[in-house]
């Protein structure tokens, strides 16, 4: 089992883009610490003759693995203090050591809770609820024997590690006993004992089981036949189909942005094309025109004009305009909850100046509409001319599929208002004579709305430098909605009410998110567990085979080997910088240009003020050393004077000219041998 567990952890960390130490810290912080903080208190409370039910209720919110529903149900169980005290004592007191007797004791407790007539008729305990409560109490009382139990999670982990499952038809008592014995076996494996030294190792295993819940369904991890290695490039479509969001990360120049566009093309068109670029993808999408108009880009006046066009009626009332499909779809884009008032305002302001039926001030003077005595609105000759030009313009450039693909870059000022929705200034009148403040959709919400109306096509949002933004503030409640089982139409679909518009919102199944992240950027540490758990992570490594020039290829291989020795692979330099160096590079002119303008500044940033590292990479002759005597202060004379001793010397270090450094680096990396240089 140890080999399978170690392999599982290795592949999980690889998929998440973290180390085993990171995984350990995550389990320690989010799982083990919660159990160590609460379970000893609960143990003290229940292993007494007089159980303090109120004290248990006070710590119920802190119990690990409880959802808000579990917590409410547990408190409902505790509300009848007499019943709760009797049930807990009958479970814990003189608990049998024999497994069969133990499972019978547990089943009796579960049956008691399931059959109990609660005063709150809205609360009903299932066997799963009662089993969870029972396992929490047993884990606190007997931490060396039991674990907090959710049936599906423990069975999936057992399958992944090849442990025998409980027999079909087993009772909850038998399954809880089985889970405890399984956890004991896992706790004794060398990998668990190597990473965790704790007096309660079963809590570690329970934390591990909970932490791996997302991977329990992932065949790329759990399938034994596929656990030899993770080939990300081949499996990325399958991974995206499951998670629908992925982050490409790696060192500078490994092609993260380039690959993200290729992946977007693959998601949208279902075919792999390594020659695709951002521009060619946009052009390809624009050439596939849709028949309908892009309502999101219209003004209210234009939308009303389209209603007159689509209705094929000379006269129409405001209520009919409001109920039209165009206005219903358009108002959702504009987050307008006062549709009737807005329509009335547009019609009145754009009516004829000499109208007999419309007597209002502040008309625009364009005279597009008028109405009869029965409040039927119609287009004037000027209105018909405006409508004709509008239809011609929209027909010439109908909505294209390029709205299926968007590219943004996160930065420190990027906010929730930019991404989801927020209040933004907007020109109030067609003549731009006033400004009002309205709720405006952010780029992600706008894409989700379009995707919901176009379920036959996939939509892709690329977020470059995703870790440079404040993830928690930008995504807000969307962090939860991104999960594949929380999306529109799924069994566990979640819909939230957005704070500005008050709209109900969920993420459609045909929306994909691809992020890119630089592994050398220290802000990567700020990407929290919530984001890591909802994204697949794929590392892009240096591909030396893409470098046509052999000397440039050898140069980069040797350079990266030194960088890895001094720092780590996150600081490797990517192949992109060297791909345009021709196969025949006379006297290394192109390599020299790339090195001087791009590589050397990057190395100076990597190893700022680390002259030993720079000398190791560039060669000691590349470092210029200035030696000077340090002036000292003479208190008697009140002046600075040169020191006469051998101390107080100043050593200034700097990098020599780029030409000299390049030649020295070539020799240091073995591209040019010293004897070759002498022969030349």
Q: Rounded to whole angstroms, how far apart are CA atoms 344 and 369?
A: 11
Q: What is the pLDDT of residue 213?
A: 53
Tell me how far apart the alpha carbons of residues 209 and 160 are, in angstroms, rounded to a whole number.
Answer: 11
Task: Assign 200 to helix, strand or coil.
Answer: coil
CB 39 within 8 A of CB 139: yes
Q: Please, where are the H alpha helices in 337-442?
A: 339-349, 381-396, 416-419
Q: Are 581 and 548 in contact (CB under 8 A)?
A: yes
Write down the residue that tokens 């600081």 correspond to.
571
634: tokens are 């003479």
Q: Give the CA count within 13 Å in the CB-facing half-sphere of 582.
A: 7
Determine the average pLDDT of the residues in 14-25. Answer: 82
Residue 243: per-residue pLDDT: 67
User: Are residue 638 and residue 605 in the same domain, yes or no?
Assistant: yes
Q: Do 110 and 48 share a domain, yes or no?
A: yes
Q: Give me the residues paired with residue 624 across strands.
A: 654
pLDDT higher than 90, residue 176: yes
Say yes or no to pLDDT of 382 above 90: yes
Average pLDDT for residues 338-364, to the nearest whole number? Answer: 89
Q: Are residues 74 and 195 in the same domain?
A: yes
Note the pLDDT tens digit of each residue in 277-312: 998 998 888 776 554 566 666 788 988 999 998 888
Does residue 663 register a pLDDT over 60? Answer: yes
For the segment 216-228, what is each residue's pLDDT rounded down to a tens digit?
A: 444 444 443 333 2
Q: Are residues 330 and 479 in the same domain?
A: no
pLDDT in tens, 516-571: 998 887 555 456 666 777 888 888 999 999 999 999 999 999 999 999 999 888 89
State which of 489, 521, 541 marks the end of a domain: 541
* Residue corresponding to tokens 């052009």: 283
Of 375, 398, 421, the last residue of a domain is 398
Q: Domain span at residue 68?
A: 2-225
> 80-84, 277-281, 641-645: lowest mean pLDDT where?
641-645
d(CA 493, CA 545): 45
DSSP state of 457: S
Helices within 312-377 (DSSP H only)? 318-323, 325-334, 339-349
Q: What is the mean pLDDT of residues 74-95?
A: 91
pLDDT in tens, 438-486: 788 899 998 998 888 788 788 999 999 998 888 888 988 888 888 888 8
Question: Would you state the pLDDT for residue 286?
Answer: 76
CA distances from 92 to 47, 89, 109, 482 (A): 8, 5, 10, 42
Q: Are residues 210 and 91 in the same domain?
A: yes
d(CA 27, CA 386) in angstroms, rounded, equals 64
Q: Looking at the structure, tell me whether residues 533 and 579 fall in a common domain.
A: no
Q: Let me know whether 328 and 436 are in one domain.
A: no
- Residue 141 sits in the same domain as residue 196: yes
Query: Which CA distances in Å does 122 have to 68, 113, 117, 389?
Result: 15, 15, 11, 61
Give the C-alpha distances (Å, rounded to integers) separating 282 from 268, 399, 405, 506, 578.
Answer: 12, 13, 8, 27, 27
Instruction: Write down the H helix ranges in 377-489.
Output: 381-396, 416-419, 443-453, 471-475, 478-481
- Whether the pLDDT of residue 659 is over 70: the answer is yes
Q: What pLDDT sits at residue 34?
A: 85
The overall average pLDDT reported for the chain is 83
Q: How many domains does the chain have?
A: 4
pLDDT in tens, 202-248: 999 998 888 775 554 444 444 433 332 323 344 444 445 556 889 99
Q: What angle do CA 286, 289, 290 make, to 5 degrees?
A: 135
Cα angle: 639, vertex 645, 650; to 5 degrees = 75
- CB-based contacts of 225, cutoff 8 Å, min separation 6: none
Tell me what pLDDT residue 434 has. 64
**How far is residue 245's CA from residue 258's CA, in Å, rounded to a whole number?**
17
pLDDT of residue 269: 85
Instruction: Report the candidate in 529, 6, 11 with the shortest Cα–Cα distance to residue 219.
Output: 11
Do 321 and 391 belong to one domain?
yes
Of 492, 526, 541, the domain-final residue: 541
Same domain, 30 and 134: yes
Separation CA 667–CA 672 (nearest Å): 5
**pLDDT (0 to 100) of residue 504:** 87
Are the C-beta atoms of 400 and 289 separated by less than 8 Å?
yes
Residue 339, C-beta contacts closer than 8 angstroms, at least 6 positions apart: 322, 327, 331
Asked if 214 and 83 sit in the same domain, the reply is yes
Q: Is the pLDDT of residue 68 over 80?
A: no
Which residues contact residue 80 at a Cβ distance below 8 angstroms, ignoring those fewer than 6 apart?
116, 118, 119
- What pLDDT score was predicted for residue 18? 83
Those residues with Cβ within 8 angstroms of residue 94's Cβ, 6 or more apart along the chain or in another chain:
none
Higher pLDDT pick, 485 / 41? 41
Taking alpha carbons only, the member of 419, 417, 437 closest to residue 428 is 437
Mean pLDDT of 671-677: 56
Does residue 190 sit in the same domain as residue 151? yes
Q: Which of 89-93, 317-321, 494-498, 525-529 has the lowest mean pLDDT?
A: 525-529
* pLDDT at residue 429 tops 60: no
């Amino acid at each position: 089992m140890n080999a399978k567990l170690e392999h599982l952890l290795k592949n999980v960390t690889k998929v998440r883009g973290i180390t085993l130490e990171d995984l350990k810290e995550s389990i320690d912080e989010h799982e083990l610490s919660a159990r160590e903080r609460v379970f000893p208190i609960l143990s003290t409370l229940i292993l007494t003759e007089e159980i303090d039910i109120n004290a248990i209720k006070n710590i119920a919110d802190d119990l690990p693995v409880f959802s808000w529903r579990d917590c409410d149900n547990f408190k409902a169980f505790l509300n009848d203090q007499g019943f709760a005290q009797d049930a807990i004592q009958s479970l814990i007191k003189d608990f049998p050591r024999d497994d069969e007797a133990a499972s019978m004791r547990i089943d009796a407790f579960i049956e008691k809770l399931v059959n109990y007539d609660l005063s709150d008729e809205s609360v009903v305990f299932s066997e799963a609820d009662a089993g969870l409560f029972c396992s929490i109490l047993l884990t606190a009382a007997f931490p060396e024997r039991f674990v907090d139990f959710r049936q599906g999670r423990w069975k999936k982990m057992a399958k992944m590690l090849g442990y025998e499952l409980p027999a079909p038809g087993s009772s909850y008592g038998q399954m809880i006993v089985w889970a405890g014995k399984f956890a004991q076996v896992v706790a004794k494996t060398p990998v668990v004992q190597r990473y965790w030294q704790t007096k309660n190792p079963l809590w570690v295993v329970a934390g591990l089981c909970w932490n791996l819940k997302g991977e329990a369904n992932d065949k790329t991890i759990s399938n034994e036949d596929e656990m030899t290695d993770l080939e990300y490039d081949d499996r990325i479509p399958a991974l995206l189909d499951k998670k629908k969001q992925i982050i490409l990360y790696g060192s500078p120049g490994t092609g993260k942005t380039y690959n993200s566009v290729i992946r977007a093309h693959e998601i949208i068109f279902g075919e792999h094309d390594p020659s695709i670029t951002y521009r060619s993808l946009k052009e390809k999408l624009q050439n596939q025109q849709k028949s309908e108009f892009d309502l999101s880009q219209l003004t209210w006046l234009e939308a009303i004009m389209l209603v007159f066009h689509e209705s094929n009626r000379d006269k129409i009332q405001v209520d009919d305009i409001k109920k039209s499909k165009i206005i219903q779809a358009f108002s959702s884009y504009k987050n307008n909850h006062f549709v009737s008032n807005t329509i009335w305002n547009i019609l009145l302001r754009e009516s004829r100046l000499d109208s007999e039926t419309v007597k209002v001030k502040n008309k625009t003077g364009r005279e597009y509409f008028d109405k009869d005595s029965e409040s039927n609105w119609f287009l004037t000759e000027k209105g018909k001319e405006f409508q004709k030009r509008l239809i011609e313009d929209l027909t010439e450039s109908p909505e294209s599929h390029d709205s299926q693909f968007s590219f943004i870059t996160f930065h420190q000022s990027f906010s929730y208002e930019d991404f989801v929705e927020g209040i933004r200034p907007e020109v109030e009148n067609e003549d731009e004579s006033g400004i009002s403040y309205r709720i405006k959709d952010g780029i992600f919400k706008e894409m989700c709305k379009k995707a919901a109306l176009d379920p036959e096509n996939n939509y892709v949002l690329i977020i470059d430098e995703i870790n440079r933004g404040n993830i928690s503030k930008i995504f807000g409640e969307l962090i939860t909605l991104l999960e594949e089982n929380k999306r529109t139409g799924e069994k566990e679909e979640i819909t939230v009410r957005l704070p500005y518009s008050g709209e109900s919102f969920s993420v459609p199944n045909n929306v994909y998110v691809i992020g890119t992240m630089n592994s050398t950027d220290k802000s990567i540490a700020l990407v929290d567990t919530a984001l890591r758990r909802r994204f697949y992570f794929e590392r892009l490594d240096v591909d030396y085979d893409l470098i046509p020039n052999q000397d440039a290829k050898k140069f980069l291989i040797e350079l990266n080997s030194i960088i890895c020795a001094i720092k780590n692979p996150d600081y490797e330099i990517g192949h992109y910088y060297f791909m345009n160096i021709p196969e025949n590079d006379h006297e290394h002119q192109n390599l020299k240009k790339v090195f001087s303008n791009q590589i050397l500044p990057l190395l100076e940033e990597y190893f700022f003020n680390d002259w030993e590292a720079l000398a190791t990479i560039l060669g000691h002759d590349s470092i210029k050393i200035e030696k000077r005597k340090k002036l000292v202060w003479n208190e008697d004379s009140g002046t600075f004077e040169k020191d006469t001793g051998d101390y107080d010397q100043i050593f200034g270090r700097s990098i020599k000219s780029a030409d000299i450094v390049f030649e020295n680096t070539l020799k240091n990396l073995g591209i040019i041998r010293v004897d070759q240089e002498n022969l030349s």
